[in-house]
Amino acid sequence: MDAIRKTQEDFPRQIRVQVEDAGRQLEVARANLKTAQVAVAQAEENRRITLVQYREQVIVFSEVLDAEVSLTRARTSHAEALYGYQLAWVDLERTTGGPLPPPTAPTGSLEPRQAAESNR
């Protein structure tokens, strides 16, 4: 009987810990998303500069390809970060037992280009 009572008394604390953990995970995911948005913006700018340099025959085409690869990797990382953010949001909703207000991205948008423009 004491074990049951102890479990019942401990239950609210367990719930609070789970909600706090889910909230921390969401904040980590939000930070990862913001970092990924900045990385995409930087890779897009790098590609733009690289294309200009290539047109002016300052660099070789392999450097353009490197810039394209970097941009593709940044976009992939952004997609993964967005997925992680959405998973963390759903986990927080599940943990709290219901829908939460719509999430907002760190810069108010989930699109990397818009994030880059707002960070300038």
Within-domain flag for 84: yes
Task: Identify whether 92 is part of a domain.
Answer: yes
Q: Is residue 69 one of the residues assigned to a domain?
A: yes
pTM equals 0.76
Q: Is the pLDDT of residue 89 over 80?
A: yes
Q: Which two tokens stand for residue 76?
A: 């992939």
Residue 5, pLDDT score: 80
CA distance 87 to 31: 14
Nearest alpha-carbon partner for 31 in 115, 118, 101, 120: 115
Pick the more confident residue, 25 or 103: 25
Confidence grade of residue 72 (pLDDT, cut at 50, 70, 90): very high
Note down the domain range covering 68. 10-118
For residue 96, the model assigns a pLDDT of 92
Looking at every residue in the chain, the average pLDDT score rounds to 88
pLDDT at 115 over 50: no
Residue 2 in domain: no
- How many domains are there within the chain? 1
Contact 40, 75 (CB under 8 A): yes
- Asked whether residue 53 is assigned to any structural domain, the reply reads yes
Residue 21 included in any domain: yes
Overall average pLDDT of the 49-57 stretch? 98
Q: Is residue 1 part of a domain?
A: no
| Per-residue confidence (pLDDT) for residue 102, from 0 to 100 | 77
